[in-house]
Homo-oligomer: A and B are copies of this chain.
Amino acid sequence: MSAVTTADLLALDRAAQDLLFRAARTANTFTDEPVTDAQVAAIHDLIRYGPTAYNGQPLRVLLLRSPESRARLLPYVSSSNRAKTASAPLVAVLAADLDFHERLPELYPHRPQARDWLADRPSRAEQARFSATLQIGYLLVGVRAAGLAAGPMAGFDAAAVTREFFPDGRHEALLLLNLGHPGPDAWERRLPRLSSEEVVWTL
């Protein structure tokens, strides 16, 4: 099946397909054009409608805007990610609220007992990580929906970042995210993707 035929099977128009997926790339350099709080709020206002288990919405986004907060992060970032993390207009720590169940009586009001189903901390933490990671997927799409480039980075010391920025023990850092407009030489070449024949199976 050609790419054109495949793209035409979707309800989403081609320009939006390109903006969110086909032409979108992980940026490695950024211009110094700022990313505003209003843009971040607009992105969240869009992606907050994505589904999560129990409607728990455990994702928390910590924006590191001050030079001091950025300096606290850098020692925990892998050497290959440090330069871009230092120069991105905005860096966010994406984290899970491991005690998200406390809000369930309000967020999942038709089953107020759901909070009690999640009383066990280890299994609740697993649920929190899972739903927050789903939300990070929505968030990366949302950053692109705002016309911005996203630079997700898994290469960092997550336990150390959790201790540094979430000493309450309630939150856990999952991913770092650079946000901005792509700068010079922002892109590596597009890496190969698996075909649906390789990853979609039928029984």
A residues adjacent to B (C-beta < 8 A): 1, 3, 6-7, 9-13, 15-17, 19-22, 24, 26, 37-51, 53, 55, 57, 59-66, 68-69, 103, 106-110, 127, 129-130, 133-138, 140-142, 145-147, 150, 152, 154, 165, 174, 188, 191-196, 199-203
Contacts and interface: CB of A to CB of B under 8 A. Distances in A.
A176 to B, nearest CB: 12
B21 A61 contact: no
A192 B26 CA distance: 32
Given A11-B146, A57-B194, A191-B108, A41 B200 contact: yes
B201 A10 contact: no
A52 to B, nearest CB: 9
B137 A44 contact: no
Copies of this chain present in the complex amount to 2
A15 B203 CA distance: 35
A50 B21 contact: yes
Contacts of A24: 49
A192 B106 contact: yes
B60 A201 contact: yes
Contacts of A202: 37, 62-63, 65
Given A1-B38, A65-B202, A203-B65, A11 B46 contact: no
A159 B121 CA distance: 19
Contacts of A194: 48, 57, 103, 107
Most buried by B among A17, A50, A174, A195: A50
A27 to B, nearest CB: 11
